Amino acid sequence: MKERSSSPEFWDDSEQAQSVMQELAEIEATLNSWREIDRRLHDMEELAALTELEDDPAYAQELEEEAVALESLLAARRFEVMMSGRHDRANAIVSIYAGAGGTESQDWAEMLLRMYLRWAERRSFASEVIETTEGDEAGIKSATIEIRGRLAFGNLRSERGVHRLVRMSPFDNAHRRHTSFALVEVIPDITGEVSVELNPDDLKFEFYRASGHGGQNVQKNSTAVRITHLPTGVVVSCQNERSQAQNRERALAVLKSRLYDLEEQKKEEELAKLRGEHVTAGWGNQIRSYVLHPYRMVKDLRTGWESGNTSAVLDGDLDGLMEAYLELMVGRN
């Protein structure tokens, strides 16, 4: 791969070249992390030998501290090794849809959008809001974001499903307790990885003005693009780019990823049926509850992972949830 990147014609296709360079950087980072562990293991062996010879408590304490640090590094590498899915290293496209319940669910959808943006920020991942449909009074009806970073999809695939919120409503004058639902979809960005052919006759294009909070138009020209794939009914939109052509290209890329993921899900469901497993789809797949009243608790219904620190989770501290889900998936396989 290094030889390929140094060839004169390598940058003729800039998009593919950037993809290759990103993959190369990830491989280098992985190799360097294992080299670092190997180096520290050798240092520990020398320190252990020195501790036996000198019988110095200071050496023993240093050895113990290094063992704890190394154990933490190995745990992180083990977490990455467990991500062996075909697209785990891909960037992720996350879509959030408010459920029934009007303003309550729309506000909950916006809270989830913030949660994933904060998670990306904590990881120093790049994130970009591709499209949002604002709520009637508050929150959002839907949003699509792209998160770019090492193992982005491998981490975020744990978030697919229905998220349930229980709280005292800030929109209810009687201060009653409300339950809200939102659906989270996560697909890998397959751009440059898999070729998906689209029949132009299967596509319906709509162009409109991008809108801001409250529905007001923020552009004079109709640069936003909505594409409907007629055979499946899949709809994608993009309004973040400056030009209609850029939004059209971006929306097509997201559509290809969604159609690819749809086919992969069908294959998984067929295999599950052959194995005799129960398969459900849609809104019945509630994966997690976030309770803010009468007590505070986040609980994943698949893994049993729970925490009373709801503020931290909603602020993007999702690593424990993601690791528990990955452990579950590895155990099943």
Above 70 in pLDDT, residue 130?
yes
- pLDDT value of position 3: 62
Contact 20, 32 (CB under 8 A): no
Residue 92 near residue 153 (C-beta atoms within 8 A): yes
pLDDT > 60? residue 182: yes
- What's the pLDDT tens digit per position in 95-124? 999 998 789 999 999 999 999 999 999 999
189-233 per-position pLDDT tens digit: 988 767 788 999 999 999 988 765 544 444 556 889 999 999 999
Q: pLDDT value at position 63? A: 84
- Residue 143, pLDDT score: 95
In this predicted structure, what is the pLDDT of residue 102?
85
Share of the chain above pLDDT 90, in %: 47
Percentage above 70 pLDDT, the chain = 83
Mean per-residue pLDDT over the chain, rounded: 85
Helix/strand/coil (H, E, C) string of 112-149? HHHHHHHHHHHCCCEEEEEEEEECCCCCEEEEEEEEEC
> Would you say the C-alpha torsion 243, 248, 249, 250 has a positive or negative sign?
positive
Q: Which residues pair with 188 in a beta bridge?
A: 92
pLDDT 10s digits, 150-167:
889 999 999 999 999 999
Q: From 169, 204, 189, select the one nearest 293 (Cα to Cα).
A: 169
pTM of the model: 0.75
Q: If residue 297 lies in a helix (H) or strand (E), which one and from where to where?
A: strand 297-300
